[in-house]
Amino acid sequence: MRAYERLLNYVKVHTTSDPNTGAHPSTARQFDLARQLVEELKALGLADAHVDEHCYVYATLPATPGQEAAKPLGFIAHMDTTDDASGENVQPQLHPNYDGGPVTLPATGMVLDPETFPFLKEMKGQTLITTDGSTLLGADDKAGVAEIMTMVERVQAENRPHGKLCIGFTPDEEIGEGASLFDVEHFGAAYAYTVDGEDVGEISYENFNAAAAIVTVHGFSVHPGSAKNAMRNAQNIAIEFHQALPAFSRP
* Number of residues that make up the chain: 251
CA–CA separation, 129 vs 40, rounded Å?
Answer: 23
Instruction: Choose, from 80, 147, 174, 177, the residue flagged as catalytic.
Output: 80
Our answer to whether residue 173 is catalytic in this structure is yes
Our answer to whether residue 141 is catalytic in this structure is no
Tell me which residue of 84, 109, 120, 93 sits closest to 11, measured CA to CA: 93
Instruction: Choose, from 141, 147, 172, 173, the residue flagged as catalytic.
Output: 173
Helix (H) or strand (E) holding 111: strand 111-112
3-state helix, strand, coil in the chain (%, to 5): 25, 15, 60
Angle, helices 3-10 vs 139-157, to 10°: value is 140
Burial class (CB in 10 A: 0-12, 13-18, 19+), 62: middle
Helix (H) or strand (E) holding 244: helix 234-244
Catalytically active residues are 80, 173
